[in-house]
Structure 1
Amino acid sequence: MTVARLQGIPGIGVDKMGDAADSLGDADILRLENLDTDLRPPAAALARTREAIDDDAANSYLPFTGLQSLREAAAARVGDAAGATYEASNECIVSAGGLSGILNVLLSIIDPGDEVVLTDPTYAGLINRVRLAGGVPRFAQLRPGADGWRLDLDSLAAAIGPRTKALLIMSPSMPSGYVPSREEWQAIAGHCERGRLWLLYDAAMERILFDGRSVVHPASLPGMRDLTITVGSVSKEYRMIGWRVGWIVGPEPIMNDIRLTSLSNVVCQVGIAMDGATAALTAPDDGVAAAAAEWQTRRDFLMDALHDLPLVRPHGGWSMLIDTRSLGIEPAQAAKLLLERGKIAATPMTDWGPTASRYLRFVFANESVSRLQDIRERIRCSWQT
């Protein structure tokens, strides 16, 4: 019998699609189902990680809250984005990846039955972590338009109630690629200030922005430094998925609780990965700008090649959504046909938010433009559109 805290927590679908594609063993399959990337990590991070393998100090549980050098680099990274100063010793904790950090924060700021507001669509793993922590997810609607996604501010206001404890916002958001405008961030911040609500900011893709957009960190807004908890990682921007290193940066009063949760949960981070992560954060050129430019090129190719299909333009990130239901085909069936007939692996957005079930996700971070050249023909053969 399923325990109560797991009831209502479905899978994320990506694992099933990935397993199905792997089982075919066909290198011709376009891997658009999972957030991987073929772009290499910073050279300095690779070199320092290799050195750490032979460093006995890296083969340790200690320090439990992360290497001081990494905490200093992460605190500086968040501080630069937010236009604020964070003390590494008491306002930064290293986590075993960004999502571990998200769960530890949720376990530290909500009681069972408290509500957390997320955008819809959003990553099912974020929704599931709210539930796993005993929280109740509520949703603010993202609306698709010709220029991408926009936050419905009336929907945001309606999602906030007397049991709301926090807003959990990712920018760029996954799977949509939505990036809040400054005005939308101000609306979010206004609700947080009025209700003294936590803003849990998932900054895993913060700098993966397209079309000349610039970072607006919510802690930079008036009154928000003391209400914002930022969680980041090296996985996406720095292309270091396998390192499993993230960080939590926030105001000192809440960080001791998060420290206790972290010690009680994963305990510590990947020892041999932290030096490499530090090297990535402190490298003179971390490669993020060049990587974002390449990912934008791939996005632009897909938007052009699939211009006659109902794609929603992402503002950043690694993925985009296609509304297959408007074509008369359910996303799960669309994904099945794509894999069987078109050799395309893609994930239906079932349980990624109340309205997400009409979409199929295409990840463009792991396939080059040369590999994507015949994608429109593959889709045509699969769906006969």
Structure 2
Amino acid sequence: MVKMAGGKPVFIPLRYKTVIGNSASSADWVLDATELASKFNSRTKAILLNTPHNPIGKVFTKEELQVIADLCIKHDTLCFSDEVYEWLVYKGNKHIKIATLPGMWERTITIGSAGKTYSVTGWKLGWSIGPQHLIKHLQVVQQNTLYTCPTPLQEALAQALWIDFKRMDDPDCYFYSLSRELEGKRNRMAQLLQEVGLKPVIPDGGYFMIVDVSALNVDLSDMEANQHYDYKFVKWMIKSKKLSAIPLTAFCGPDTKKQFEKYIRFCFIKQDSTLDAAEVILKNWNKPTS
């Protein structure tokens, strides 16, 4: 999309801090401040930020966001902040909107999603928040892109937001209850993956969990030679184990696909019955299939 708009995408990966043990945290993936600064110059128009992060689940700290903000201000750069998982943050972590940092409101578009917040991803409803001088351009695009809007769904969303806005201080507010429910599912999946010898990256936010599958040593040399290992692994796993996931290189820039090809992404926002079925598959992983 950046290329279609006449821009040049510049990629920067999160760098993994090696830890000892059978699991890692999404907080172990960090943005190298020096590397990030080297990507900015007089031609830098905008930075795309995603927190809580998909697929890693990282929740950027205030200190990390301040590094990004300082560079945006120094180079007069816009920030598009994708915060669709803002309410899916687990204990010990806090979501901070970069637009709330000094000097950032006037240069930030913050993106939210009803689909992610209320688990109705099929509705395809979301919003963008920012200063009038930036939002007006989004309104022009909106007006000339869409012919109709899903008015009944918009009304339903408005009512849902109003109900929970009025009980923001109530622990039963939906915004807080969803993360409490998902934290149990997250912990269950992490424990299960560890028990079968895999190394999950425990997310601080979101409802995805990436997993290092290199310990399984699955030989996929007889599959398509021109595909990355994670694509081949997921195809093999779906066919032979009846378990589905997403290859992580789908989220990578061209220079870092090799670095991440031994990871796959699981989703744990599932019914308990689905997680039960996944548990059976994983616990019987090394048993011969009929």
Using structure 1 for the length normalisation, give the TM-score: 0.61
Cα distance in 2 for residues equivalent to 1:347 and 1:213: 26
Map residues 104-253 of structure 1 onto 2, 5 A cutoff: 129-145=1-17, 146-148=24-26, 149-253=29-133
Cα distance in 2 for residues equivalent to 1:323 and 1:152: 22
**Equivalent pair of 2:243/2:278 in contact (CA under 8 Å):** no
Q: Which amino acid aligns with 1:139?
A: F
Q: Give SS of 1:322's match.
A: strand
Map residues 309-348 of structure 1 onto 2, 5 A cutoff: 309-325=198-214, 328-329=217-218, 330-348=229-247
1:349 paired residue number: 248
Cα distance in 2 for residues equivalent to 1:133 and 1:179: 29
Q: Which amino acid aligns with 2:193?
A: L
Deviates more, 1:282-291 or 1:371-380: 371-380
Go from structure 1 to structure 2 and tell me whether the alpha carbon gap of 1:351 and 1:242 turns closer, same or farther (over 3 Å shift).
Answer: closer
Identity of aligned residues (%): 29
Q: CA RMSD in A?
A: 2.2
**Equivalent pair of 1:140/1:156 in contact (CA under 8 Å):** yes
Q: Give SS of 2:45's match.
A: strand
Cα distance in 2 for residues equivalent to 1:281 and 1:378: 43
How far the C-alpha of 1:255 sits from its partner, in A, is 1.8
Cα distance in 2 for residues equivalent to 1:220 and 1:326: 42
**Equivalent pair of 1:311/1:321 in contact (CA under 8 Å):** yes
Q: Give SS of 1:277's match.
A: helix
Q: Which amino acid aligns with 2:231?
A: A
1:366 aligned onto 2:270: yes
Question: For each residue in 1:160-180, what CA deviation from the matched residue of structure 2 results, as whole angstroms up to 9, or x when unmatched?
Answer: 233211111111111111111
Q: Runs ≥4 in structure 1, deviation > 4 angstroms?
A: 325-329
Q: Give SS of 2:16's match.
A: strand
**Equivalent pair of 2:52/2:95 in contact (CA under 8 Å):** no
Cα distance in 1 for residues equivalent to 2:280 and 2:83: 33
Q: Give SS of 2:13's match.
A: strand
Question: For each residue in 1:337-374, what CA deviation from the matched residue of structure 2 results, as whole angstroms up to 9, or x when unmatched?
Answer: 21122111111123411335412111111242434432
How far the C-alpha of 1:205 sits from its partner, in A, is 0.7
How far the C-alpha of 1:213 sits from its partner, in A, is 1.3
2:135 paired residue number: 255
**Alignment: residue pair count:** 255
Using structure 2 for the length normalisation, give the TM-score: 0.80
How far the C-alpha of 1:234 sits from its partner, in A, is 0.3
Go from structure 1 to structure 2 and tell me whether the alpha carbon gap of 1:140 and 1:274 turns closer, same or farther (over 3 Å shift).
Answer: same
Highest RCO, 1 vs 2 (Cα 8 Å, sep ≥ 6): 1
1:288 paired residue number: 175
Q: Which amino acid aligns with 2:251?
A: W
Q: Which amino acid aligns with 2:111?
A: V
**Equivalent pair of 1:342/1:381 in contact (CA under 8 Å):** no
